[in-house]
Amino acid sequence: MKPLVRSALAVVTSLALTATPAVLVPATAAAGPAPIWSGLDTRTWDRPIPAPGAPAGTVPLDPRLSLPDAGHAVRQVYGSIDQHGKPAITTSAVFLPHGTPPPGGWPVVAWAHGTVGLGDDCAPSTQPRSDRDAEYLGHWLREGYAVVASDYAGLGTPGLHSYLNGEAAARGVVDAVVAARAEGLPLAERWALVGQSQGAGAALSTAVRATALGAPAGLDYRGVVATGAPANIEHLFQWAGPGFPPVSLPTGLNLYALYILAGFREQHAEHRIDDLLTPRGRELVDAAEHLCYRDMREAVGDFQISQALARPLKDVPDVYGLLHRYMGTPAVGYDRPVFLGQGLLDLDVPAPSALSLAAEMAAHRQPLELRVYPDQDHSGTVYAATPDATAFLARIMG
């Protein structure tokens, strides 16, 4: 195991030692708020799937889902490619600033969202944004950027959302920008990526593909802002099994692990992941496919990922390779600047995760700007990093 990864495990372990023993909560938690489809319910799709980046429908976004700083907002459905390399539809919300667009259109921030869940009801374009995300996206609108916010394939559309699957997320994010411009919205060619948590991993995975994927549509990719980025998790996750980790982890880490298992199980049905699970583990992995974050957190309670597995993941042949290809965050291949922000009090994505990525990137001479916020947790880093990220975007987007 790499030294930096061992350090990550040590930090997670020390943070978790005070957790309480597991308490089982029914996996059938109360349903969250009903989705608002803005007249475009995409849970089923019986029409032809358009080419990647081609819009299949655009409607005004329901005012309850818009942002105070948006002068205009729409919901789109467009063609993309899913985790199995097959044509799929994906949805997005597009927010434009108030006022008249500059010559050539508004420069674009492609927003990659954090963990909301895997079920169709969790799609961000069908739910009000959290206070934090509304403020953060509103900041970029006030700065004169349009915001194109993909839901990722499988959220609100047929198929399961492939949690932390970088390649699938990258296609959905780039195709959302292509579709928004194809619909005639006043958007410039130049664009950048901004992501938090799951979305930071998605943004980084998109960043190494952005130029190649966007160039055929005339996009001019400039760089990426990522805060609270999950990275190198597969180095630890490969060892999951009965009694490992040997300490109690915070609820959030167990919740993310169950979402990973659900996505990994769907991606690699040939390896019969269910055969490795305890009965309660199978119940919670099944629940992970439809429960959104808040309800999944209630269902998980103090249940531990070490209790979900009756056999070690290492029983799956080449499990590290499979996990790395499924969810690995790239350390090389960046052709545009990268801003990486990390809080040292982050319990959702402990700091050694992103910092080990930063060390790898630096060793490979990637165009990295790293900012560390010693007194910030997962959400606090979003706010603390905003001035630095704003200056970064202004520099690369000018």
Which pLDDT score is estimated for 158?
98
* CA 217 vs CA 106, 287, 332, 384: distances in Å: 17, 39, 24, 34
What distances in angstroms separate CA 162 from CA 77, 81, 124, one per listed residue? 18, 12, 15
- The domain segmentation of the chain, as residue ranges, is 18-30+248-326, 55-231+328-397
pLDDT at 224 over 80: yes
Q: What is the pLDDT of residues 256-287, one digit of tens each?
A: 999 999 999 999 999 999 999 999 999 999 99
Portion of the chain with pLDDT greater than 70, in percent: 92
- Condensed to tens digits (0 to 9), the pLDDT of residues 242-251 reads 999 999 999 9
Strands 87-97 and 146-150: antiparallel
Per-residue model confidence as pLDDT tens digits over 46-75: 999 999 999 999 999 999 999 999 999 999
CB 305 within 8 A of CB 254: yes
CB-CB contact of 220 with 190 (8 Å): yes
Out of 31-40, 115-124, 155-164, 325-334, pick the least confident: 31-40
Instruction: Please check whether residue 334 is in contact with residue 208, taking contact to mean a CB–CB distance below 8 angstroms.
Output: yes
pLDDT at 31: 62
Q: What average pLDDT does range 329-344 have in this prediction?
A: 98
The class that CATH gives domain 55-231+328-397 is alpha beta
Is 17's pLDDT higher than 70? no
Confidence check: pLDDT of 389 > 70 = yes
Check the CA dihedral 249-251-257-261 and report its sign.
Answer: positive
Residues shown for the chain: 398
The residue-averaged pLDDT of 307-320 equals 98
Vertex 151: Cα angle to 343 and 25 (nearest 5): 70
